[in-house]
Structures are given as structure tokens and as C-alpha cells.
A and B are shown apart, each in its own frame.
Chain A
Amino acid sequence: MSKKTTENEGKSGTAKAAGPTFSKPTEPADIFTEEAAATTVPRTSNTVNSKANGVHSEEDLFTEATVELSLDSPRSSRKNEETSKPSASSSSSSLSAPARQAKPPPAALEELEDEEEAELEDKFDVLVSVKDPEKVGDGMNAYMAYKVSTETTLPMFRNKLFTVRRRFSDFLGLYEKLSEKHGPNGLIVPPPPEKSILGMTKVKVGKEDSSSADFVERRRGALERYLQRVVNHPLLLQDPDVREFLEKDELPRAVSTQTLSGAGFLKMINKATDAVSKMTIKMNESDAWFEEKLQEVESADQHFRKLHALVESLVVHRKELSLNTANFAKSAAMLGSAEDNTALSRALSQLAEVEDKIEQLHQDQAAYDTFSFAELIADYIRLLGAVRGSFDHRIKAWQRWQDAQAMLQKKRETEAKLLWANKPDKLQQAKDEIVEWEARVTQFERDFERVSATVRKEVLRFEVRCETLKIFKYQPAQYVFSIFVYFSPQLIKYWEAFLPEAKAIA
């Protein structure tokens, strides 16, 4: 154990020393090669490794974004975030086609970013999408059915392109199975979005307003990102339950998910954290890495929850602004009609029209704030929860080992007592039990070490994974860019059109 510790410490030590440059140490590459050994997903394809090229592909991302940003519905701007991924990758791959043949050098950070793009081009990729939510049934038994489409080149699937219909509880059911199977091993199992009784009730009852449309769209996006994360994980992709979820026409209804309500889910995460924090004190942590990591994760969680609340507040206020602008536009039009000076009357009506158009801009921006910002932060918070869950499983493994050691000790004491009491037949039983528990102790110790190694690997993977980077790198850029490309110019256009009308007042 200590040997491994120093190794790992060494690795993480280098990571810490890296600083804000773009040459990360070998460690990520090791992770991937390790994974390559375990699975059939070698990350040999690598596009670029120089900083210049990295910048170049980023610019391509922006170029694509310009093209994709069709200026109207929140839908399209949401799609952009999605479609910009593959289109950017196609451009970056065309840039670096010759480089792909080369063996991957020590990973620079852009490599990993571009690698994510390249992943999609990789002949072992799996691309999933969740689309076309459709209401099935009526009243309180109604539910939303989503089209889950998979595009893949992997030979383990029957077809290259296939679609199934799934409902929300199916996704939850998949998560339950995966977390049951892989969680205890220390895997960070991606979490699905929470159940929402309020949200779904509105949809079931048939409330056809923008808030229920919003809710469905948010959920659809969250489910899609959830599923993509699952298939991106090389170990989870191999799980037959995942394949079944993607391929099988009809899935047996997942019943036990009924307990996984939003509140229940959060409670579960919170209970795990409490348990972890309590146990960390008791656990004689021989590896400071875990303690530090956990602290980092918890502090990040705190901050991001705050961030999320603020962004949600922004969304609410922007929606309010939109509503208030619309109301003002109406009242300005009324005032214009009451005005007896002709030119002023016309100007006021024009003002009303401008405010109306601006209201639409506010709406769009609110939608953008929601889908590109708030939702991804929520995703990240859920992922942090899953990370904490993996730490919890490690603690549990440790506990099991400790309990086994305690039991072994008890058995030894029993043996000693029996020796002294001179009961030969019971003594044999005691000796047998000691052997049994010795084996258990060895097994659990190995389990604990294995789980620890997995947790560590998983956390490093999580840290380096582009989904983390995507949120914090591309999202701010796209957000800024959208305002630059769309919202501000529109504002200018509207007010410049109004100016002559105002000047014409006499």
C-alpha cells in the first residue's frame, strides 16, 4: 500500500507543480494506457500536440459556432452546443490528419481536449442522442417517451445506427443497476437528472405553457448528457445493461426507481457525505491524497451550488425582465394612441415595437443562460456528488477490511480461550474459522487497495476529462460569443432604427 502511495503521490505531485501551462505530466497518458489494457478502447489516435494547433482548433470551434448560431429559438442555440462538437472535430481532424498516424507523445493538455473531439472520430466511438420527447397516455399515468439514438462503429453492437424509445424511469433504472454493480468498485458512475414531481405533474396534467416546455427540454438535455457520459466511460460501455439499454426494443419497467425521487437522491448523496466525513476522522488515512481530494471536491461542491443558485436567479430575473418589457411595450403603445401630437404618437408606438423586439431578445438570452449555463453547472454538481459517492465506497471497503480484522481478532481470542478450556472439537472449528477469516482479511485488504486505486484513477480521469473542461472552457467562451455575435448587434439595430423616429418629433 505504501509503495503505491508514493507512486501516486509522485504523480499527483507533478500534477500540482504543472501550473497554468499546457504541458501536463505523463499521468493522464498512463491512465489511458491502463484503461487500454483493461478495455478495447485504445486512445492511440491523437490529433495535435502543439499549442499553436490547439488554438487553431479552438478558433474552428468558434467559426462553427458562428455558422451554427441561428438566431432564433433557444432550441437551435442548444443544438449548437451539441452540434458544434462534431463539426469542430471534423475541422480539427482535417487539420491534423497526417499527425494522427503518429504515436501519441506525452500528453499536452490540448491533446486531451482535441482528443475528446477526436474520440468522436475514433472508430471506437459511440454517439448517443436523446430526442423528440413525446407524451404517452393521459392524466396521472402519462409519461414522456424519448427517442434514444445511437451511432457507433463498435463491432459489439448489432447495427451502426439504431433507435429505441425510453422513458425517464428507464434511465433511472440503468443508473441503479450500474451504481449497484460498479459503485462499490470505486467507479464514478455518472448520475442521471433528479426526479421532479412538480415538473412532471405539470406535464401530465397537460399544462401547455413555456415552463413545462422548459422542463421537458432541460430534462431531455440532461438525459442526453448523462447517457453520453455513460458510454464515454470505457468500463461502463462494456456493461451488458448499457448495451441492452441502447439496443433492446422493449425494456422491463424499472420499478424500484420510484424511491429515487429528487429529494431522495439528494438525501442519499448527503447521507453518503456525512458518512464519509464522519469516517474520515476515524479512518487512519495513510494516504493524504484522498483526504485532500475529498476536501477539494467538497469545497468545489459548495461553490458550484452557490454558482448554480446565482445563475438560476439570473434566469428568473431575465424572464421577469422579458415579461416587464412586454408589459411596458403594451403600455407605451396605449400611451401612443392617447397622445394627440402625431409625431410623438408615432414615436411612442415605435418605442413600443422596439421594446417588444427587445423582449424577445431577453427571452432568448434567458433560454441561453438556462441551457448553456445553469444546466451544465447542475450537471457538474451532480458529478461532484458521484465523486463523493466513490470516496464513500472506498471508506466502506476499508470498513469491511477493518471489520474482518476485528472479527479475525475475536476468532483468535476464541481459539485461545478454547485452548485454555481444553475443548478439542470446538477448537478445530475455531481453527477453521480463523483460516476463513484470515482469507477474508487478505481479500478485503486487496479489495480496499483495488478500490482505492480505482477511485484515484477515476478521480484523475474526472479531473482531466473534457466535460470538466467543456463547462469551464468552452461554455464561457460560447456564452460571451453569443452575446457578441447575436444579442448586442440586435440591440444596436433596434435602437438605431428608433432614433430617426424620435428625432422626427416636433
Chain B
Amino acid sequence: FQFIGIEHVVKTLRSVSVDLNNDASLLIDIPDALCERDKVKFTVHTKTTLSSFQKPEFSVPRQHEDFIWLHDTLVETEDYAGLIIPPAPPKPDFESPREKMHKLGEGEATMTKEEYTKMKQELEAEYLAVFKKTVQVHEVFLQRLSSHPVLSKDRNFQIFLEYDQDLSVRRKNAKEMFGGFFKNMVKSADEVLIAGVKEVDDFFEQEKTFLLDYFSKIKEATAKAEKMTRSHKNIADDYIRLSATLNSLSAEESTNYYIIKFCLKLFQNFLRVCLKKVEGRVASDEELKLTELLRYYMRDIQAAKDLLYRRARALADYENSNKALDKARLKGKDVSQAEEHQKRCLQKFDTLSESGKKELTNFKARRVVAFRKNLVEMAELEVKHAKNNMTLLQGCIELLSGN
């Protein structure tokens, strides 16, 4: 399957984050993408007024693995421990349409040519939808970075945007250096550690409770929303097959029942025009707005939790350094060393807490705005589709009763 040049289609799908591309000093977008076999090649386009870049406008090709590399290096950077690192975009997943395509190929013999063509068209549309989604989510990742006061200045980020050669060499080196150490650490038992911390700061106490609870709820809601949109898609598929069968039935040479043929033709038209279009569109709009929203913020909250985790570790380190200092004082050995260590730990913890507070407050605001935008758009789309449906149905009824 090859889709060449999704030109500006992606621009219409900025559903998840509210317009991040506001700051004219650094504007990033993905205007183009190519899908070869299952590898997606994104064209990352940058327009900037910053002097730190070599040119004011440029584009580079990037793969999904490059995005992951960028994300991981940011996570591993100690200086950013007090920041919410935007969640990494998920790997492009063409599994579902690919499987369906395979099944379609196997069943080709049992279908009429028209049925097969229709199903194929629908599958291509599904491929396209997956494609659009993955482009969007990669774009948003970059835009989150570019709109962050600290992260936008990251050296690796600049390399990612500018370096016109293959990044794969760098990627390999990075893996060898860090080995995903910190990342793996964070992944396991973060909740236990976060929950176990004796919190002195009210703000963080509240945040902790809120985030842990919210995370489990949004995870649940995401899963249920996904199931719901999948059901919608199934129904849309059923309507496609139904209309194709009715079509071949009404085209049957041997069907001698003229009236039946006529009615079937009408009914099939009705199905094809009204329900398929509308149901199919409802499924994908709902998915974009609701499911993607939930999915994205689920990952974002995980990123926020990671921040809490790092802070909790810093606090644990500080407490340990206190104990070490006491022990050193008792023994009368290496006291100054221990004092230094303790001071550093405290400093780290304070820095983390300060930036963490800012980040989490911003995060809250960002989340509310995004939810509002998406819920409003979703409701408006639902109304639009239902009204559309009514208009189409009216036409069908006139047709059916006028014969």
C-alpha cells in the first residue's frame, strides 16, 4: 500500500491539543508522509526565526524510531527531571486494516466484483484513517516540544529538526549509552513509590491523589470508548456488505420479481447513500474526537505521573542523604562529603518541586481546554451528521413512496 503525499489533510485533524503552533518563532508541522510497506516516513517541516538554527525554513525525513529516540533522550536528561515530558507517539499500527485486507483477499472468490471493489475501497479508507491518525500524533508530539519554554531549546531537539542525514547512527549510540535504564526504572512500580511518599507539600499531596485516581479512570474510559467506536465500525461494515448483497440480488438476471428488484434497488441505494456514509463517518469522527482525546491524555497523565515519580525518588534520595549525613556525623568520617551530598539532594528536590508545580498547573489548564474543544466539536459533528442523515432519508422516503 502506498499513499503518497497527504498534503495538508493532516492540518484539519488538530483535534487533540489545542493549537500548539502559536509561537511564530518556531513552527513545526508534518505536511507530508509516505507509507512504504509498514514503515512510515514523515516529512518534518520547520519554519523559524531563531538564530540557533542554520536556516529559516527546512524539511527533513524522519522515521517513527527517530521520534522515540528524541523522547527517550529527553526523559534521560537529568535537567528535565522536573518537567512533564510529552508522551511519545505510539508506533504506527496498520495491523487491523492489514488483517482485514488479507481476509478480503482470501474471500475474493466468494464475492461479486462490485462487492469486492466496495470493500476494498472501505479498507483503503481505513488505512488512510490510521495513517492520518499516526501523522497527527507525531506532529502533536513535536509541537508540544516546540511550545515548551525549556524543551524547545534542547540540543537534541534541534538536531532532530535540522540534521539532514540519517539519525539511525545516533539512535544506536544512544541505546548503548543509556540502555533505557531510567525509562525502565520509571515504568515499574511507580505507583507504589509515589503512593508511599510521606508528602509535606499540600499541593503535591493533592496532585498525587488526583493523578493516580484520574489515571485509572481515564484508562478505563479510553478502553470503553475504543470498544464503542469499534462497534460503530462493525455496523458500518455490515451496512456495506448488506448494500452489496442487495445490489447483486437486484441485479440478478433470474430474479423475475420486478417489483422486488425495484424496491431492493431503492433500499440498497438508501443503505449505500445514507447509512454507510453517515455511520462510517460517525465512527471515525467519534474516534478522533473522543477516543483519541482520551487516549492522548491517558498517556499525558502517565507522563505527569512519571514526574511525580522522579520527584518521589529525589525525595527518597534526600532522605537517604540525611540518614547518611547522620551516620557520617556519628562516625566522624567523611562528614563534609555527606554534607555536600545532602545539599545537592535537597537542591535537586527543591528544583524538581518548583518546576513540577508549574508543569502540573499548566497541565491542568491544558487538559481542560483540550477537553472543551473536543467535546464541543464532537457534539457539533454528531448533530451535523444526524441532520445530514435526516435529509438523505427524506430523499429516500420520497423515492420509495413515489414509485
- Measured CA separation A343–B241 after assembly (Å): 43
Are B390 and A332 closer than 8 Å at their CB atoms? Answer: no
Contacts of B24 in A (CB 8 A): none
Q: B266 touching A476 by the CB < 8 A rule? A: yes
- List 10 additional contacts besides A480-B274, A495-B379; criterion CB under 8 Å: A15-B256, A334-B221, A344-B368, A463-B256, A473-B263, A477-B397, A480-B393, A502-B375, A503-B372, A505-B368
The answer to whether A468 touches B217 (Cβ under 8 A) is no
Tell me if A216 counts as interface (CB < 8 A to partner B).
Answer: no
Compute how far the CA of A468 lies from the CA of B402 in the bound complex, rounded to whole angstroms: 19
Flag if B227 contacts A324 (CB, 8 Å): yes
| B256:A296 contact, CB within 8 angstroms | yes
Q: Is B238's CB under 8 angstroms from A505's CB?
A: no
Residues of B within 8 A of A109 (CB): 259
B114 is an interface residue with CB less than 8 A from chain A: no
Residues facing B in A295-320 (CB within 8 A) are 295-296, 299-300, 303-304, 306-307, 310-311, 313-314, 317-318, 320
Q: Which of A58, A307, A339, A492 contacts B214 (CB 8 A)?
A: A339
- Residue pair B217, A18 in contact (C-beta under 8 Å): no
Check B225 against A481 for contact (C-beta < 8 Å): no
In the complex, the answer to whether B213 meets A310 with C-beta atoms within 8 Å is no
Whether the Cβ atoms of A473 and B259 lie closer than 8 Å is: yes
Query: Nearest B residue to A304 by beta-carbon distance?
Result: B249
Q: A322-363: which have CB < 8 Å to B?
A: 324-325, 327-328, 330-332, 334-335, 338-341, 343-344, 347, 351
Q: B264–A335 contact, CB under 8 A?
A: no
Interface residues of B in 230-251 (CB under 8 A from A): 230-232, 234-235, 238-239, 241-242, 245-246, 248-249
Minimum C-beta distance from B103 to chain A (A): 15
* A20-B262, A299-B255 as given contacts; A314 in contact with B227, CB under 8 Å: no
Contact A347 B396 (CB under 8 A): no
Looking at chain B, what size class is its interface with the partner chain? 35 or more
Residues of chain A within 8 A (CB-CB) of B376 are 499, 502-503
Complex CA gap A468/B256 in Å reads: 12
Q: Give the total of A residues in contact with B, Cβ under 8 Å.
A: 67
Binary interface encoding of chain B residues 214-232 relative to chain A, with 1 for a CB under 8 A from any of its CBs, else 0: 1001101101110110111
Q: Which residue of B lies closest to A492 (CB)?
A: B386
Question: A324 vs B393: C-alpha distance in the bound complex, in angstroms?
Answer: 26
Our pick among B231, B242, B371, B383 for the contact of A310 (Cβ within 8 Å) is B242
Q: A321–B231 contact, CB under 8 A?
A: yes
Asked if A285 CB lies within 8 Å of chain B CBs, one says no
A355 to chain B, nearest CB (A): 8
Given A307-B246, A331-B221, A484–B390 Cβ distance below 8 Å? yes
A314 to B386, CA, bound (A): 20
Q: Is the CB of A296 within 8 A of B389?
A: no
Q: Return B170 CB to nearest CB of chain A, in Å.
A: 40
Nearest CB of A to B257, in Å: 6
Residue B380, interface by CB 8 Å: yes
Q: Which of A19, A314, A330, A498 contacts B238 (CB 8 A)?
A: A314
Within 8 Å of chain B (Cβ to Cβ): is A488?
yes
- Chain A residues contacting B249 (CB-CB under 8 Å) are 300, 303-304, 307
